[in-house]
Amino acid sequence: MAYEVAANRFLNLLDQTLGPDLVSGFYVVGSAALRSWRPGRSDLDALVVLRRPLTVTELETVAAMHAELEATRGPGPHCDGHYVIADDLGARSGRPVPAVVDGRLLADGRTTDPVLWAVLDRHGITVRGPEASELGAAPDPAWLREWNHGNLESYWRSHIGHRPALAARQPDSAVDPYLLAWCVTGPGRLHATIATGEIISKEAAADYTADLFPEYADLCSRALAYRLGDQHVRHTAADALRTLDLIEAVCDSAAMLP
C-alpha cells in the first residue's frame, strides 16, 4: 500500500470520527517524509493538528478508531502519530500528548521531541493545513543535539545489557531481521544528526554507519538489503552480538562530539 493511500484513509476516518472541522492540519512525517517509504517495512507516521485538545470521550472514540484501522489494515502499515494543537508545534514543553504506536492509542500519551519537529519543518508532507515549512516548528539546534545525545545514552546504550542473553544462545540461531535492521541503522541516524544537524533515513544511516565503521559494513549492507525488500536476508545471534558491539561503538563515537 502506498503511503498516500494509508494517509488519506487515516484522515478520512478521522473526519468521520471527530467531524471535519476539528482537524486543522494533517502532516506525514517519518520514513515517507524522508523519501524512504518501504511498503511492508514502514509504518505511516502522521502529525495531527487539532483546533482544541480532545475531550476524554473523544479520546476514547479515537482509540476505537485506531483499533478499527489496525484490525482492517491488511497488508497496509500501522498508522501511528501524535495529536497536538497549534501551540504545541515546535514546543519544548515535556507535556505528553495523545500518541499512537503500532496502531494503538497510548493511554498516557507521549512527549514530542525535536527530531519530530525537525522532520516536520524540513521534510513534512502536507495533506491538510498550511505548508509544513510554514508552521514555525523548527527546533533549536542545541536542543536537537542534546536530545540525540540523551537518546543514545539512555536508550540505545542500554541495549548492550542484552549481551549475556544473546551469548547464551546458539550462535547460528535465527533472530528477527526487522529488529536487527532497526538496531543496525537506528544509532547511526542519531550520530549523523549530532555530527551534521541533518535528519537521515534508515537507508542513509546504513551507508553512513558503514563509512564510520567499515568493520561492520557487512551488517550494514544486509540491514540495507532487508529495508529495500530482500526477503532472503537472514541474521543470527552471532550477528546480534556484533550489532551490540556496533551500537556501543556508535554511542562512544557520538559521546566525543559536541
How many angstroms separate the CA atoms of 118 and 217, rounded?
A: 28
Q: Is 195 left (phi over 0), alpha (psi -120 to 50) or beta?
A: alpha
Bridge partners, residue 28, by sequence: 46, 125
For residues 3 and 42, give the distance between their C-alpha atoms in angstroms, rounded to a whole number: 9
By CB atoms closer than 10 A (0-12, 13-18, 19+), residue 232 is exposed
Q: What is the pLDDT of residue 211?
A: 99
Task: Quote the pLDDT of residue 94.
Answer: 87
Of 83, 49, 53, 87, nearest to 65 by C-alpha is: 83
pLDDT in tens, 43-52: 999 999 999 9
- The model's pLDDT over 140-187, given as tens digits with 9 standing for 90+, comes to 999 999 999 999 999 999 999 999 999 999 999 999 999 999 999 999
Give the tens place of pLDDT for each residue, 215-244. Answer: 999 999 999 999 999 999 999 999 999 999
Quick one: pLDDT at residue 66? 96
Measure CA 128 to chain center: 21
Over residues 247-251, mean pLDDT: 99
Question: DSSP assignment, residue 155?
Answer: I
Is pLDDT above 80 for 1?
no
pLDDT by residue (tens digit) across 84-113?
999 999 999 889 999 999 999 997 899 999
Q: Measured in Å, how far apart are the chain's first and last C-alpha atoms?
A: 41
CB 24 within 8 A of CB 15: no
The pLDDT assigned to 166 comes to 97
CB contact burial 10-20 (16+ within 10 A = b; e otherwise)? bbebbeebbee
pTM of the model: 0.95
pLDDT digits (tens, 9 = 90+) for 52-90: 999 999 999 999 999 999 999 988 999 999 999 999 999
- Considering all CA atoms of the chain, what is the largest pairwise distance in Å, rounded to the nearest integer? 57
DSSP 164: H
> Kind and range of the H or E element at 188?
helix 177-196
Share of the chain above pLDDT 90, in %: 95
